[in-house]
Amino acid sequence: MIEASGQQHIVQVLRVAMSKGSVGHAYLFYGPAGTGKKKLAGSIAQALNCLQFPEGPCETCLSCQKVVRRSHPDVHWIAPEGKAIRIEQVRQVIKAAALQPLEGRQQIFILDATQGLTPEAANSMLKTLEEPPASVIFILLAEKPGLLPSTVVSRCQVFPLRCLAEQPEQSEMFRSLTGEAAAFLTALRQETGVSVLSGRLAGNENLPGILDVILTMLRDILVLLSSGRETLLFFERETYAGLDEQWTAGGAFKAIVILLKLQKNLQTPVNVRLAAEAALLQLKEVLS
């Protein structure tokens, strides 16, 4: 079974996708250090090329063992050179992705610390990331998706991972914010003033957390409206009662791009209220 301690919600989604043959072509797993991103990525790589697929990973077959030793010719780990993943590395990835797998069913490219992608590297991989060969799967790992270009994030199925050391309290806190996030998304589509919304958002005691939940819900709305595949949702289907009627797939996508930029801006010294207001003005404009 895929291993990801404390991340059973993600494991279940991935297991269902594998059993139905509907694995995505690109995933982004994000969360702080200690959330098990690399372990999850490695376990998925094992499962996809396990000789017992789709019941794998069995952990004992030659393929699974090679993934553990990082010697499998079809599982590629790409780490930053220094602090950045550079365009030369991405060019090598694109070149390798055009080839057929040597031993396994899938070629899997695991890009670690992708918040370190240089702009040139990110731009060069967009086409391959969006439409990779059928035998290729990308797994991107990052601490904060707001530090990645929105063009990269939008091409991935995005899953937040929670800090294992803080389970189950963090998990409960994350889910407890869904009501507030749903109310915010409803207000965005209605006539609620930007000043009121930005004040409510900036004044939240857990602003990073509420932004994570809002982005996760927008991602689910986008999946729901684009594909209707409820098995890919992060939260339960009931969480979105009414929201799928208020939003469009295009609106959800535009909101994700703008809020990811806000998340990135909040990593710098800014006036939080003004940054939130500027982002919501953009949102209101594109959603009108």
Range 115-139 average pLDDT: 93
Q: Using the 3D structure, point to which of 147, 166, 185 is the last residue of a domain.
A: 166
**195 and 278 together in one domain:** yes
Cβ contact 74:102 at 8 Å: yes
Is residue 37 over pLDDT 50? yes
How far apart (Å, rounded) are the C-alpha atoms in residues 287 and 252?
9
pTM: 0.65
The answer to whether residue 2 is domain-embedded is: no
The CA-based angle 229-232-235, given to 5 degrees, is: 110
Is residue 170 over pLDDT 60? no
Q: Using the 3D structure, point to which of 96, 131, 166 is the last residue of a domain.
A: 166
How far apart (Å, rounded) are the C-alpha atoms in residues 48 and 121?
27
Nearest to 35 by CA among 233, 148, 171, 173: 171
To which H or E segment does residue 167 belong? none
How far apart (Å, rounded) are the C-alpha atoms in residues 46 and 221?
30
Cβ contact 246:240 at 8 Å: no
**Which residues span the domain enclosing 271?**
177-287
pLDDT tens column, 238-281: 888 888 888 988 888 888 888 888 887 887 888 999 999 999 99
**106 and 239 together in one domain:** no
**185 and 145 together in one domain:** no
pLDDT tens column, 68-95: 999 999 999 999 988 899 999 999 999 9
Is residue 59 over pLDDT 70? yes
Number of domains in the chain: 2
Of 5-9, 52-56, 216-220, the range with the highest mean pLDDT is: 216-220
Cβ contact 140:152 at 8 Å: yes
Q: Using the 3D structure, point to which of 146, 166, 186 is the last residue of a domain.
A: 166
